Structure 1
Amino acid sequence: MNLKTLLIAALMGLGFSQAALAERVQLDKVVATVNDGVVLQSEVNKVISRVKQQAKEQNTQLPSDSTLRIQAIDRLVDQSLLLQLAERMGLEISDAQLDQTLANIASEQGATIADLRKSIEATGESFKAYREEIRQEITISQVRRANVDRRIYINPQEISNLQTILEQQTGQSEEYDIGHILVKVPSKASPEELDDARNRANKVIEFLNDGKDFKRIAIASSSGAKALDGGQLGWMGINEMPSLFAEAVKGKKKDDIIGPLRSGAGFHILKVQDIRGRQVVETTEVRSRHILIKPSIILSEEKARSMLAGFVKDLRAGDAEFADLAKEYSEDPGSALKGGEYDWTDPTTYVPAFRDTLLSLDKNEISEPFRSTFGWHIVQLLDKRVADKTDLAKKNRAHGILYNRKFKEESLRWMSEMREQANIDVFPTE
């Protein structure tokens, strides 16, 4: 007996009239089976309705209804496969984790969960149903990432190669204000004359590092064409400089002294007096420590929160040491043995609840217990600083581009493999 026959038999057993039964089956008929799961017509209709509403708002033209139906069923089949896999993996999204995600969604819109509920219900949709859709989306995202991530490998050379390409693309806009001093070497210089010139160049660098005025030293000791102008070469892009200078200047910071650089003319000393067109990335870094308690079947959400509230009371009263409590109770294996401490870290790498709580604290302040996707925490801000992350940002950008590209490719391959291994039947339209 197939699923459709079972559905009709069940409805008849509940005493539905033939007319009512026909209408019900028409509304909720099975349009596809996915292993032991089903895709219902009402689900397909819901997807199509939302796509049409979005297209109307964005003034976008859509293909035919039959094409939309195929696309909708395709999406729902994938969704069913992923949710089935999540169930086999034992992956569940708790109410607390779901509430935290909803709070983040509302916060991004400058609203509260109550405001979010009102806006959802104003469209005629059930907020309870919306919650469950978000729970499904989180589940699908986590199960996909867990399975696709392990298929991705990015080697350092790939990152380096892409960084070079990106720098060549963006480096055109960078300009440097260069100061130049040339310690001249005769064309047929003896070894002694060469050593003397090198020593004089090193002495010039020593003066400059001691803070001596560049222009004054250039006028006094440079043999370059711009000596009387204080060695000022002016603003130049990388492609406008001699290749010797371009290679040496690349990636340097304002006020860096470079050299001595040897050429046929002698020894060159450069000063990066200013830079424009470069995107400098500065980030706030924090040093912190925390204690994590994970709710479980044995330990309830309220008990975990209450336990941490007791720790906070003892810590503020001076009756306990943070490191001792972390070593004994924290369930974060990465930090517990170190007294709960994290080294200098960009807080944006933390989950939103942890990041936002940490950034709201003053130095040495201990937070109240709060919930993240990992469990219940208390955190103490130990210190804060501003760091130049320009080079790291470039590396991370290259890594991110490669990761996103490979994630899309591997995600498609993995999903295709999932479908090949599944038992999927799509029923034709009657």
Structure 2
Amino acid sequence: MKFRRFLATTLFALGLSQGVQAQEQLIDQVVGIVNEGVILESEVDAIVNRVKAQAKESGQDLPTDSALRVQAIERLVNQTLLMQMADRMGLEISDGQLDQTLATMAKDQGGTIADMRRSVEASGESFAQFREDIRKEITTQQVLRANVDRRIYISLQEIENLLQIMEQQGGNSEEYDIGHILIDIPSSATPEEIASAQDRAAKVIELLEEGREFKRIAIASSSGSKALEGGQLGWMSTNEMPSLFAEAVKGKKKDTIVGPLRSGAGFHIIKVQDVRGRQVVETVEMRSRHILLKPSIILSEEKARSMLEGFVKDLRAGDADFAELAKEYSEDPGSALKGGEYDWTDPTTYVPAFRDTLMSLEKGEISEPFRSTFGWHIVQLLDKRVADKTDLAKKNRAQQLLYNRKFKEESFAFQQEIREQAHIEIFAED
């Protein structure tokens, strides 16, 4: 149908004396339908071109354009489903929140937003489009966290068990730099489809053992969420990995190929790209208190920030009590009843915006309002100490490791579920 193949038509003036006549012209092409949304050729091209540019800069070989296109479409399908869910949730990332994220990104790279703009534009990309891509990335991550967090339960017994394991390891555990390839299997796969997927997995292992570049094979073959990044999962301890990976990888040497490992998603192939030991060091712990306001339909971003600015002014003038303000206004249920107070904690366990702000404060200092993924905060540093891995810090670390593992597992399961419930149609290339 012409509706599916063309996004729009444009009008051109072919002659003033003859009036305006309509002429159909291809502006963009629809390559797929995801529920009520569409995936455009230009979106696919943008991803493919970005991956090519990054590969050229790093000197990395890439598979065929066709393989890159398949991976780009897969990413766009997942992104579109999450953005559609964001619309249903009423989740929007404001310009203010986006600007703060970009400023943090630029600071991490040792520059400013202006530096970032120059770098993006020098690469041939539109900075406006770059901003919108980051907005989508923030949105999809918040959708995932909102839907996946409630599926995660970590018991005290699990924390204690992990603490015992960490204690047996003497505080020194290994971390692995992991490459991952997933050969997926449909949820209602026939025995023939399963056998075919297993054969493909065996072929991938054969190519890797022959010395083929892992990243290139991952981009061409993997159905994993990090396929376009060459299947790079980064550094992880076995406590952070899915259990299936941890049991297979533990004790393996650098450059070992592990797999295929069968799960409900398909066949997994793991490469141990490097191994390193984790050193125990003294930990800076901080005791703090904060007030959190969450923007909503009733409370705008600007109103939330303005309220907190008023609190800061009153607190610095001695006209208000932090604990009382936190009890009355803070929307963090875990700390509000305690006057907004957090006990001694390693600040690296906090989200980046909160961590960076807290670590910039002097003892007793109250921050200006700042935005995190949870909402608008002000935070006061109550005290700071250097600790040698206290019990509390160990428990926080154990809980975070368990959370990271479960989040990866549940995130994948959640995205598989919404895909199975969606209407997805990808059109073959002409």
- Conserved 8 A contact 1:281-1:393: no
Identity over aligned residues, as a percent? Answer: 72
Relative to structure 1, is the Cα distance of residues 281 and 156 closer, same or farther in structure 2, using a 3 angstrom cutoff? farther
Relative to structure 1, is the Cα distance of residues 426 and 298 closer, same or farther in structure 2, using a 3 angstrom cutoff? closer
> Which structure's CA Rg is the greater one?
1
- Conserved 8 A contact 1:280-1:390: no
Relative to structure 1, is the Cα distance of residues 402 and 127 closer, same or farther in structure 2, using a 3 angstrom cutoff? same
The amino acid that maps onto 2:319 is D
User: How much does 1:405 deviate?
Assistant: 4.5
State the match for 1:211 in structure 2: none
State the match for 1:322 in structure 2: 322
For 1:156 and 1:3, locate their aligned partners in 2 and report how far apart those are by CA, in whole Å. Answer: 56
For 1:409 and 1:68, locate their aligned partners in 2 and report how far apart those are by CA, in whole Å. Answer: 25
State the match for 2:273 in structure 1: none
- Conserved 8 A contact 2:287-2:381: yes
- Conserved 8 A contact 1:31-1:40: yes
- Conserved 8 A contact 1:100-1:373: no
- Conserved 8 A contact 2:366-2:378: yes
Relative to structure 1, is the Cα distance of residues 404 and 381 closer, same or farther in structure 2, using a 3 angstrom cutoff? closer
Structure 2: which 5+ runs fail to align? 15-20, 174-276
Report the secondary structure of 1:3's partner residue: helix
Per-residue CA deviation, residues 166-201 of structure 1 (Å, 9 max, x unaligned), is 66667899xxxxxxxxxxxxxxxxxxxxxxxxxxxx
The amino acid that maps onto 1:386 is V
For 1:152 and 1:423, locate their aligned partners in 2 and report how far apart those are by CA, in whole Å. Answer: 27
Report the secondary structure of 2:334's partner residue: coil
State the match for 1:132 in structure 2: 132
User: How much does 1:323 deviate?
Assistant: 2.4
Mean CA deviation greater in 319-328 or 90-99: 319-328
State the match for 1:190 in structure 2: none
The amino acid that maps onto 1:70 is V
Q: Does 1:119 align with 2:119?
A: yes
Relative to structure 1, is the Cα distance of residues 154 and 52 closer, same or farther in structure 2, using a 3 angstrom cutoff? same
- Conserved 8 A contact 1:103-1:113: yes
Matches within 5 A, 1:295-314: 295-314=295-314
For 1:69 and 1:324, locate their aligned partners in 2 and report how far apart those are by CA, in whole Å. Answer: 56
The amino acid that maps onto 1:347 is P
Relative to structure 1, is the Cα distance of residues 308 and 158 closer, same or farther in structure 2, using a 3 angstrom cutoff? closer
Relative to structure 1, is the Cα distance of residues 345 and 6 closer, same or farther in structure 2, using a 3 angstrom cutoff? same
User: How much does 1:329 deviate?
Assistant: 3.2
Per-residue CA deviation, residues 90-129 of structure 1 (Å, 9 max, x unaligned), is 2222222222211221111111222212211222222121
Per-residue CA deviation, residues 377-405 of structure 1 (Å, 9 max, x unaligned), is 33222222222226666666665555545
For 2:379 and 2:92, locate their aligned partners in 1 and report how far apart those are by CA, in whole Å. Answer: 26
Cα root mean square deviation, aligned? 3.4
For 1:126 and 1:373, locate their aligned partners in 2 and report how far apart those are by CA, in whole Å. Answer: 26
State the match for 2:414 in structure 1: 414
Q: Does 1:377 align with 2:377?
A: yes
Mean CA deviation greater in 94-103 or 356-365: 356-365
Mean CA deviation greater in 340-349 or 404-413: 404-413
State the match for 1:31 in structure 2: 31
State the match for 2:56 in structure 1: 56
The amino acid that maps onto 1:308 is L
State the match for 2:86 in structure 1: 86
Relative to structure 1, is the Cα distance of residues 360 and 51 closer, same or farther in structure 2, using a 3 angstrom cutoff? closer
For 1:337 and 1:160, locate their aligned partners in 2 and report how far apart those are by CA, in whole Å. Answer: 27
User: How much does 1:297 deviate?
Assistant: 4.6
User: How much does 1:57 deviate?
Assistant: 2.0
Matches within 5 A, 1:29-428: 29-153=29-153, 279-389=279-389, 403-428=403-428
Mean CA deviation greater in 387-396 or 136-145: 387-396
Relative to structure 1, is the Cα distance of residues 147 and 379 closer, same or farther in structure 2, using a 3 angstrom cutoff? closer
Relative to structure 1, is the Cα distance of residues 94 and 66 closer, same or farther in structure 2, using a 3 angstrom cutoff? same
Structure 1: which 5+ runs fail to align? 174-276
For 1:290 and 1:358, locate their aligned partners in 2 and report how far apart those are by CA, in whole Å. Answer: 10
For 1:391 and 1:327, locate their aligned partners in 2 and report how far apart those are by CA, in whole Å. Answer: 28
Q: Does 1:11 align with 2:2?
A: no
- Conserved 8 A contact 1:315-1:322: yes
For 1:3 and 1:404, locate their aligned partners in 2 and report how far apart those are by CA, in whole Å. Answer: 43
Relative to structure 1, is the Cα distance of residues 42 and 149 closer, same or farther in structure 2, using a 3 angstrom cutoff? same
- Conserved 8 A contact 1:281-1:388: yes
Relative to structure 1, is the Cα distance of residues 147 and 337 closer, same or farther in structure 2, using a 3 angstrom cutoff? closer
Mean CA deviation greater in 149-158 or 348-357: 149-158
User: How much does 1:327 deviate?
Assistant: 2.9
Which one has a larger percent helix, Structure 1 or Structure 2? 1
Report the secondary structure of 2:348's partner residue: helix
For 1:404 and 1:321, locate their aligned partners in 2 and report how far apart those are by CA, in whole Å. Answer: 36
For 1:87 and 1:427, locate their aligned partners in 2 and report how far apart those are by CA, in whole Å. Answer: 25
Q: TM-score by structure 2 length?
A: 0.64
Report the secondary structure of 1:355's partner residue: helix
For 2:302 and 2:403, locate their aligned partners in 1 and report how far apart those are by CA, in whole Å. Answer: 39
The amino acid that maps onto 2:333 is P
- Conserved 8 A contact 1:314-1:320: yes
- Conserved 8 A contact 1:282-1:390: no
For 1:142 and 1:300, locate their aligned partners in 2 and report how far apart those are by CA, in whole Å. Answer: 18
For 2:29 and 2:52, locate their aligned partners in 1 and report how far apart those are by CA, in whole Å. Answer: 22
For 2:297 and 2:90, locate their aligned partners in 1 and report how far apart those are by CA, in whole Å. Answer: 14
Report the secondary structure of 1:117's partner residue: helix
State the match for 1:180 in structure 2: none
For 1:60 and 1:344, locate their aligned partners in 2 and report how far apart those are by CA, in whole Å. Answer: 45
Mean CA deviation greater in 129-138 or 153-162: 153-162
Report the secondary structure of 1:366's partner residue: coil
Report the secondary structure of 1:111's partner residue: coil
Mean CA deviation greater in 333-342 or 130-139: 333-342
User: How much does 1:140 deviate?
Assistant: 1.4
Relative to structure 1, is the Cα distance of residues 390 and 62 closer, same or farther in structure 2, using a 3 angstrom cutoff? farther
User: How much does 1:19 deviate?
Assistant: 11
- Conserved 8 A contact 2:172-2:279: no
For 1:171 and 1:382, locate their aligned partners in 2 and report how far apart those are by CA, in whole Å. Answer: 29
State the match for 2:185 in structure 1: none
Report the secondary structure of 2:38's partner residue: strand
